[in-house]
């Protein structure tokens, strides 16, 4: 004998949550990295080839067709794609949200600058240390994530962002030079990190940034495909199922924060050596929310979404500016965009645009041959 299903659940508290909601901010089950991207039909080698050609064009073709101003813009797109990559991983894979990633960018830049004033470490090592230090700070900020989630976690990280701003102001970031803790008025309002010897020119430095970004994307891919990716997938579904599988929840939660922050730190160090260097006005707290918006719009369930997000964040304002349109428009545009993502297109632009184009193509084909479509419909 078996009892009816409706009675089959004991009225005891269980840690398994039923029917999670579908928005990316809640890490829902209805929408998931696996479900999104499943429509791709390209085979592995073809995709790899297309990606390689695209990458070669980005590294060698793009600098040839744009002037110095746009090269700076594109360089910052590449650098910011590392930040959006980290935040996308945190939201889409680990199912947590942080509103302090933009300020961690400043921390990364700061650490790299201070290390440069104090030591004569080579540039790659500066980036690495800036990343690791920022990663540690990020993990520290992520500690509340062990107890909180959703809105409360977002609030805590936003407060952390505010706190970092206060520290930057008090310390008069980027505060000149002279040793690790030195302060020199000669540095002025903005500081620039000396570039590596192999990449002193703008074009060479652009390629250097592309190479570092590529490494970060590979690091992300390695995480997503590997053991951390599987552990995060379990955590996203429910904490109970992760624990029952032996996943160290504390470790993987903090690791996600550390990884995202490491990437922000690396990007910050790169930014410090970009044209114009860094100054305190570059890092307003509200940009953290802007960052969250573009990451959601780009798409958090695919690594390509990070590139789209960076284009929205850095290229779109420059384009609007160029066309004489007020960049204030962006706030409205991003607001509508985020609403769209949360309501209908959880995979973001990187997932939705190919789908929409395919639908449009089908629609156009049908319009072009209405008779055949009619015949098809007549024969079930």
Partner 1 sequence: MIEVDGLTVRFGGVVPIDDMTLTLSGGTCGLIGPNGAGKTTFFNVLSGFVKPVAGAVHAFGDDLLAMADYRRARWGLRRTFQTEQAIADLSVFDNVLLVRENTQGGRATPRQDVLDAVAFVGLEPEADRRVGTLGAAQRRLVEVARAVVGSPRVVLLDEPAAGLPDDETEHLGRLIRRIPEEIGASVVLVDHDMSLVSACCETTAVLDFGKLIASGATAEVLRDAHVIRAYLGTEEEV
Q: Which residues lie closer than 8 Å to 249 by C-beta, 6 or more apart?
A: 146, 235, 239, 242, 243
Tell me the number of residues near partner 1 by CB under 8 A. Answer: 39
221 lies in the site for partner 1, by CB under 8 A: no
Structure tokens at 239: 């904490």
118 lies in the site for partner 1, by CB under 8 A: no
**Of 22, 29, 73, 320, the one binding partner 1 by CB under 8 A:** 29
Structure tokens at 76: 């910052």
2 lies in the site for partner 1, by CB under 8 A: yes
Structure tokens at 380: 């079930």
5 lies in the site for partner 1, by CB under 8 A: yes
How far is the C-alpha of 270 from the C-alpha of 287, rounded, in Å? 18
305 lies in the site for partner 1, by CB under 8 A: no
- The DSSP bridge partners found for residue 278 are 191
Q: Which residues lie closer than 8 Å to 140 by C-beta, 6 or more apart?
A: none
CA angle 335, 276, 54 (to 5 degrees): 65
Residue pair 313/291 in contact by the 8 Å Cβ criterion? yes
303 lies in the site for partner 1, by CB under 8 A: no
213 lies in the site for partner 1, by CB under 8 A: no
12 lies in the site for partner 1, by CB under 8 A: yes
Of 33-41, 163-171, 279-287, 306-314, the segment contacting partner 1 by CB under 8 A is: 33-41
11 lies in the site for partner 1, by CB under 8 A: yes
Question: Minimum Å distance from CB 97 to partner 1?
Answer: 18
35 lies in the site for partner 1, by CB under 8 A: yes
**Of 121, 189, 196, 230, the one binding partner 1 by CB under 8 A:** 230
Q: Which residues lie closer than 8 Å to 318 by C-beta, 6 or more apart?
A: 70, 73
Question: Minimum Å distance from CB 255 to partner 1?
Answer: 14
How far is the C-alpha of 213 from the C-alpha of 374, rounded, in Å? 50
Structure tokens at 319: 């384009």
90 lies in the site for partner 1, by CB under 8 A: no
DSSP string of 181-235, one letter each residue: S---GGG-SEE-PPPPGGG-SHHHHHHHHHHHHHHHHHHHHHHHHSHHHHHHHHH
1 lies in the site for partner 1, by CB under 8 A: yes
1 vs 185, beta carbon nearer partner 1: 1
17-51 exposure pattern, b = at least 16 Cβ within 10 A, e = fewer: eeebeeebbbbbbebbbeebbeeeeeeeeeeeeee
**Of 105, 112, 156, 233, the one binding partner 1 by CB under 8 A:** 233
72 lies in the site for partner 1, by CB under 8 A: no
Of 40-48, 133-141, 162-170, 230-238, the segment contacting partner 1 by CB under 8 A is: 230-238
Q: How many CA atoms lie within 13 A of 239 on its CB side?
A: 13
Of 26-34, 125-133, 210-218, 368-376, the segment contacting partner 1 by CB under 8 A is: 26-34
195 vs 236, beta carbon nearer partner 1: 236
> Residue 279 belongs to what H/E stretch?
strand 278-279
Binding-residue pattern over the window 37 to 56 for partner 1, x denoting contact by CB under 8 A: -x------------------
Binding-residue pattern over the window 242 to 281 for partner 1, x denoting contact by CB under 8 A: xxxxxxxx--------------------------------
**Of 190, 203, 241, 282, the one binding partner 1 by CB under 8 A:** 241
9 vs 379, beta carbon nearer partner 1: 9
Distances (CA, A) of 243 to 150, 246, 255: 20, 5, 16
18 lies in the site for partner 1, by CB under 8 A: yes
DSSP state of 35: T
> Which residue ranges make up the site for partner 1 (CB under 8 A)?
1-3, 5, 7-16, 18, 29, 32-35, 38, 227, 230-231, 233-234, 236-238, 240-249
């Amino acid at each position: 004998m078996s009892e009816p299903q409706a009675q089959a659940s004991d009225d005891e508290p269980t840690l398994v949550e039923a029917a999670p909601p579908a928005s990316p901010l809640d890490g829902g089950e209805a929408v998931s990295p696996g479900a999104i991207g499943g429509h791709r039909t390209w085979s592995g080698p073809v995709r790899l080839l297309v990606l390689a050609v695209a990458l070669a064009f980005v590294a060698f073709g793009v600098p040839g067709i744009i002037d110095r101003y746009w090269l700076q813009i594109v360089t910052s797109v590449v650098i910011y794609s590392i930040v959006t990559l980290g935040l996308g991983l945190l939201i889409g894979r680990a199912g947590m949200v942080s509103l302090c990633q933009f300020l961690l960018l400043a921390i990364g830049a700061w650490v790299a600058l201070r290390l440069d004033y104090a030591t004569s470490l080579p540039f790659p090592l500066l980036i690495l240390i800036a990343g690791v230090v920022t990663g540690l700070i990020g993990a520290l900020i992520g500690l509340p994530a062990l107890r909180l989630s959703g809105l409360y976690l977002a609030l805590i990280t936003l407060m952390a962002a505010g706190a970092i701003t206060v520290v930057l102001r008090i310390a008069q970031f980027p505060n000149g030079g002279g040793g690790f803790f030195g302060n020199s008025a000669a540095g002025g309002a903005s500081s620039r990190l000396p570039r590596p010897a192999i990449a002193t020119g703008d074009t060479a430095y652009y390629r250097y940034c592309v190479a570092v970004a590529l490494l970060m994307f590979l690091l992300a891919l390695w995480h997503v495909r590997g053991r951390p990716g599987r552990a995060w997938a379990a955590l996203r579904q429910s904490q109970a199922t992760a624990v029952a599988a032996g996943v160290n929840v504390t470790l993987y939660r903090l690791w996600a924060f550390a990884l995202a922050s490491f990437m922000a730190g690396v990007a910050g160090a790169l930014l410090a050596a970009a044209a114009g260097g860094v100054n305190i006005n570059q890092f307003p707290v509200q940009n953290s929310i802007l960052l969250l918006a573009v990451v959601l719009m780009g798409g958090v369930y695919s690594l390509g979404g990070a590139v789209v997000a960076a284009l929205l964040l850095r290229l779109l304002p420059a384009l609007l500016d160029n066309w004489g349109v007020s960049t204030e428009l962006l706030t409205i545009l991003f607001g509508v965009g985020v609403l769209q993502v949360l309501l209908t297109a959880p995979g973001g632009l990187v997932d939705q645009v190919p789908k929409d184009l395919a639908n449009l193509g089908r629609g156009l084909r049908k319009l072009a041959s209405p008779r055949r479509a009619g015949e098809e419909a007549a024969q079930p």
